[in-house]
């Protein structure tokens, strides 16, 4: 394709000057075409010398003076060679005499600058395009590295909290502790299978949340009420994995009291192409800076900025004695 583009371009360069004289008769057209064809090798020589060699070796390495001298020397050589060639053929074909040498060299020098200018314009465009692609690749690699780091940060944090809950069960209810270990193994399998995926189905994410909530409920007393409103038929949407777990974790960590009656509520529903997740928990005296700091929440905020820039809404408020968190994600 690139080869054909070059051929088509040179055909246009060759024919276009001759077309200017087509209205003045076949003789002028043929003479113009003849001179265009004769000039074409010199134009190609200047263009490709600059395009493949001089611009990269001299101009882009800031050796500007040497570049200008080399280009000037090549143009003078091309113009002089063209003058001698035209003179030879005109003499043997009985055509009109050539213009004075100095006039020919002056005007031909200017016309020979065109392939040099075009070569520089194309090389600059290609270079800028390559730099832009390289910058995008670096940015993408950095984004992936940041996301990987955040995932590795989230996993030990998650398992540390889950193991703490199991440890607290061992002392007073070994059977529930055993059940918790079994549930935790299922959650670990989800981590192993999906945490490295860029996108998973929303149904898988909902199932993971339900399993985690069930695990956390094993250690709760009758003083805590948990309400879950997840869709039974989850739409065929995809989402980055492990986005909602930090909110659920925080609700259990800061919204459960051994002495006060508390309520935890989790809901997820779809509004068009938006996934709306809502978490509520009772404010208890020990709660401090809830949902504003901590590894899990900081991790969530960074991931949302990286994965869904300008495509998410994250709001926190205190309402009627509860912390209410709303996370809306545009799943497109």
Q: What is the pLDDT of residues 224-279, one digit of tens each?
A: 899 999 998 888 889 888 888 889 888 888 888 878 889 999 999 999 889 999 99
Please give the share of the chain, as a percent, with pLDDT higher than 90. 11
SS percent in the chain: helix, strand, coil, step 5:
65, 15, 20
* Sequence-ordered list of residues with C-beta below 8 angstroms from that of 73, at least 6 positions apart, any chain: none
* Sequence-ordered list of residues with C-beta below 8 angstroms from that of 24, at least 6 positions apart, any chain: none
Contact by Cβ (8 Å): 328, 313: yes
Q: What is the pLDDT of residues 187-229, one digit of tens each?
A: 777 666 666 677 888 998 898 888 888 877 877 778 889 999 9
pLDDT at 34 over 80: no
pLDDT of residue 12: 66
Q: Where are the domains of the chain?
A: 2-134, 173-330
Terminal C-alpha separation, the chain: 35
Considering only CA atoms, give the Rg of the chain.
Answer: 37
Confidence class of residue 329 from pLDDT cuts 50, 70 and 90? very high
pLDDT of residue 211: 82
Alpha carbon 160 to its chain's center: 34
Burial category of 28 from C-beta neighbours within 10 Å (exposed 0-12, middle 13-18, buried 19 and up): middle
Q: What is the pLDDT of residues 272-328, one digit of tens each?
A: 889 999 999 988 865 544 444 456 677 788 888 888 988 999 998 888 888 999 999
pLDDT of residue 259: 80
Return the bridge partners of 325, or none.
279, 316
Contact by Cβ (8 Å): 113, 79: no
* Sequence-ordered list of residues with C-beta below 8 angstroms from that of 199, at least 6 positions apart, any chain: 238, 239, 240, 241
d(CA 144, CA 199): 13
pLDDT of residue 281: 92
d(CA 82, CA 46): 13
The DSSP code sequence of 10-42 is: HHHHHHHHHHTTGGG-HHHHHHHHHHHHHHHHH
Nearest to 13 by CA among 37, 49, 31: 37
Nearest to 217 by CA among 162, 145, 160: 162
Buried b (16+ CB within 10 A) or exposed e, 287-298: beebbeebebbe
Contact by Cβ (8 Å): 201, 236: yes
pLDDT of residue 158: 64
pLDDT of residue 112: 83
Nearest to 202 by CA among 162, 236, 160: 236
pLDDT of residue 208: 84
Burial category of 119 from C-beta neighbours within 10 Å (exposed 0-12, middle 13-18, buried 19 and up): buried
User: What is the CATH T-level fold of the domain 173-330, as seen in this structure?
Assistant: Heat Shock Protein 90 (3.30.565)
Buried b (16+ CB within 10 A) or exposed e, 145-184: eebeebbebbeebbeebbeebbeebeeeeeeebebbeebb
The DSSP code sequence of 164-225 is: HHHHHHHHH-HHHHHHHHHHHHHHHHHHHHHTT-S-EEHHHHHHHHHHHHHHHHTT--TTEE
Q: What is the pLDDT of residues 70-120, one digit of tens each?
A: 888 888 888 888 777 777 766 555 555 666 777 777 777 788 888 888 888
């Amino acid at each position: 394709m690139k080869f054909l583009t070059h051929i088509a371009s040179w055909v246009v360069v060759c024919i276009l000057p001759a077309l200017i004289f087509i209205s003045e008769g076949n003789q002028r057209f043929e003479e113009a075409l003849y001179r265009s064809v004769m000039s074409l090798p010199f134009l190609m020589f200047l263009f490709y010398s600059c395009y493949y060699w001089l611009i990269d070796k001299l101009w882009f390495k800031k050796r500007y003076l040497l570049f200008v001298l080399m280009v000037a020397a090549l143009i003078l050589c091309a113009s002089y060679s063209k003058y001698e060639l035209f003179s030879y053929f005109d003499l043997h074909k009985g055509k009109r005499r050539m213009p004075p040498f100095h006039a020919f060299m002056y005007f031909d020098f200017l016309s020979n600058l065109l392939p040099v200018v075009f070569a520089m314009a194309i090389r600059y465009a290609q270079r800028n395009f390559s730099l832009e692609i390289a910058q995008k690749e670096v940015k993408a690699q950095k984004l992936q590295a940041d996301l990987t780091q955040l995932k590795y940060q989230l996993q030990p944090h998650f398992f540390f909290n889950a193991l703490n809950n199991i440890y607290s069960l061992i002392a007073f209810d070994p059977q529930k502790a055993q059940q918790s270990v079994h549930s935790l193994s299922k959650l670990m399998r989800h981590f192993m299978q999906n945490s490295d995926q860029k996108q998973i189905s929303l149904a898988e994410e909902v199932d993971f949340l339900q399993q985690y909530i069930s695990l956390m409920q094993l250690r709760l007393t009758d003083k805590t009420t948990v309400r879950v409103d997840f869709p039974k038929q989850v739409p065929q949407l995809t989402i980055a994995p492990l986005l909602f777990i930090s909110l659920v974790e925080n609700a259990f960590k800061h919204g459960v009291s051994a002495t006060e009656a508390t309520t935890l509520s989790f809901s997820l529903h779809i509004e068009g192409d938006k996934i709306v997740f809502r978490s509520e928990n009772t404010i208890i005296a020990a709660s401090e800076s809830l949902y504003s700091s901590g590894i899990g929440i900081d991790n969530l905020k960074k991931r949302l900025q990286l994965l869904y820039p300008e495509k998410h809404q994250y709001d926190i408020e205190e309402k009627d004695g509860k912390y209410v968190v709303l996370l809306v994600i545009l799943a497109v």
